[in-house]
Amino acid sequence: MSNKIPLGLSKSRIYLTTSIFLILTYYIYIIVDTASLGKTLNYSNIKYIIGVLLKASISTLFILILSSTFKFKYLNLLLFIIVSIISSAILFVKIQYGSFELGSYISIMETNTKETIELFHSIDIPFIVFFQLIITPFILFRLNQYLGGFKVNLVLILALILLIGLSSSQAKNNSIFSVSLTGEVVLVPMSRAYYILFNMPLLKPIALSQSYSKLKKIENTPIKAEWEDIIVSNSSNKKNYVVIIGESVQKSSLFSYGYHRNTTKPLKETNGMTLISDPIAPAPQTGMALSRILAINDKLNINNNLNIIDLANLSGFNTFWFSNQGQIGIYDSPITNIAKRTDLTIFHNKSYEQANSDFVLIEDLEAHLDGNSNNVYFLHMIGSHFDFCERTKNAIKLEDAYREQLKDEQNCYDDTILNTSIFINKVVSLLESTSLDYEIIYFSDHGLVDIERKPYKSHGVGSLFQRKALEVPLIFISSSKTSSDMQNTTYFMRDFPHTFAEWLGVTATQIDYTKSVFHPRIKQEKYALNDSSEIIYFTK
């Protein structure tokens, strides 16, 4: 019996076939969205499956052409390493969040070295990601050996052109973000070129960068206050107002909202609290959420010229912004852009070189606390930001029977909530030491969702998007109240500027008190945005 492998099944052909199959499988996995597949096989599902196979085949052909074009050893080494890194990064995002979309791209672009290191320390990177990072260059080098020549490349290129032509016919059914002549963010039909880039995972960052740059154009537009007909009803009653902005806080992790661990024990003796039962953040990520909380907005459009800091300034208040978040790398986020409108702005950890405690903000507040003026202080916490254990390594810990039952990261997250409660309590104590009445608002920019893998909490992006990712605490504390209560209200935090205005006792042409949380019959549209800036409506 002969042991020879037939010519059609030679080792080189087996290797070539296996490599192409692995690449195709990778792209199918990256592109497919299981949520878009129905449980029954119908026309719509068949059409979707064909679309996925078509896009995966285009990406596979592109890689085959790319790997076979050059024959220079060191150029190929550099090229294949770059392909490997991008492919592995996209695979990781797919596993972690379900898809690689604009929200994920923005997070990568606005994350610096320190944050990245913290992220990698706080998560489990699947073995398959490391495997792909290592094996991809070897696969591409072998393909480079087996493929090549004018005829092979010509066939591959012609096949790629044919498939691109078939796929790009769907461009008209998709939209992208753009900037209108009036400077607003709008959705416009995709061009064929953009559609192809968007649906080729390796080149998708190019397409996302175009959308990102257009959004940054809006975010970095100079601000010119547009508030009209401002009236202040209580200008003679001097008070200190404090807005405490938390980070990545799940409402369900607060004992005050029914959590089984006493994470808010420091607030137990605090009088004058009003907890809003069901606050909904505008989006599952800081940039998209907080920019809407701070300024008048509608759907995809945010008018930074109608921000709450300018409203306070024009109403005669002294304004302060103390931040432990940093200024987000080389890009001025829309949040920083608005924050700089205050009379005094202090940023800690400008490059995230140190993981400072949020209690540095208490020191800022104490140093600038004025007992003889109307002041509005914004304290932007790092709060429950990744890495949870890094946040609490020198902080007070929860000591209870549950600690032994939970993973380290789960305990650390609960510890961040405990220390946030301590922080709020210290703000209350500091304000009570002055001769003025005070008002405090505490809320988080967005929530998190529970996941089964380390770090057991995640941003609700991609396939993880759900209502819980938007459920945040909203707490009012007033020196004029002697008891605490829960207000049973669903409130969409994107309309916070209207609440802020009523809280200060201010009216303006653009303020609508029916969108304030204090109004007995709130009139709000029930929607939020996901990380792809899609408008998601809620029925309850």
Among 116-120, 135-139, 186-190, 231-235, name the one with the lowest average pLDDT: 116-120
The reported pLDDT for the residue numbered 5 is 41
- Most confident range (mean pLDDT) of 281-285, 391-395, 533-537 is 281-285
Q: How far is CA 266 from the centre of its chain?
A: 29
pTM of the entire predicted model = 0.75
Inform me whether the pLDDT recorded for 9 exceeds 70. Answer: no
The mean per-residue pLDDT over the stretch 198-224 comes to: 81
Find, among 276, 304, 240, the residue nearest to 480 by Cα: 240
Of 185-189, 342-346, 373-377, 521-525, least confident by mean pLDDT is 185-189
d(C-alpha 255, C-alpha 262), whole Å: 5
Distance in angstroms (rounded) separating the CA atoms of residues 95 and 99:
8
Pairing of strands 273-280, 474-478: antiparallel
Average pLDDT value for residue range 196-218:
82
CA dist., res. 486 & res. 225, Å (int): 35
Per-residue pLDDT of 85-101, as tens digits, reads 999 989 988 887 777 87
Between CA 86 and CA 537 the distance in angstroms is: 34
Please name the residues in contact with 128: beta carbons below 8 A apart, sequence gap of 6 or more.
91, 95
With contact defined as beta carbons under 8 Å apart, do 515 and 495 qualify?
Answer: yes
* Of 2-6, 331-335, 408-412, 452-456, the least confident: 2-6
Enumerate residues 6+ apart whose C-beta is below 8 A from 311.
227, 230, 497, 500, 501, 504, 506, 508
Q: How confident is the model at residue 2 (pLDDT cuts 50, 70, 90)?
A: very low
Span 428-466, pLDDT tens digits: 999 999 888 999 999 999 999 999 888 899 989 888 899
Q: Which pLDDT band holds residue 69 (cuts at 50, 70, 90)?
A: confident
According to the per-residue pLDDT averaged within each range, which of 57-71, 184-198, 478-492 is highest? 478-492
Q: What pLDDT shows up at residue 351?
A: 43
The pLDDT value given to residue 237: 76
Six-digit token string for 514: 């029916």
Collapsing DSSP to helix, strand or coil, 196 comes out as helix
Alpha helices in 321-395 (DSSP H): 334-339, 360-368, 388-391
Closest CA to 382 of 197, 152, 176, 115: 115
Q: How far apart are CA 478 and CA 275, in angstroms?
A: 12
Q: Examine the pLDDT at 182 and tell me if it is beyond 60.
A: no
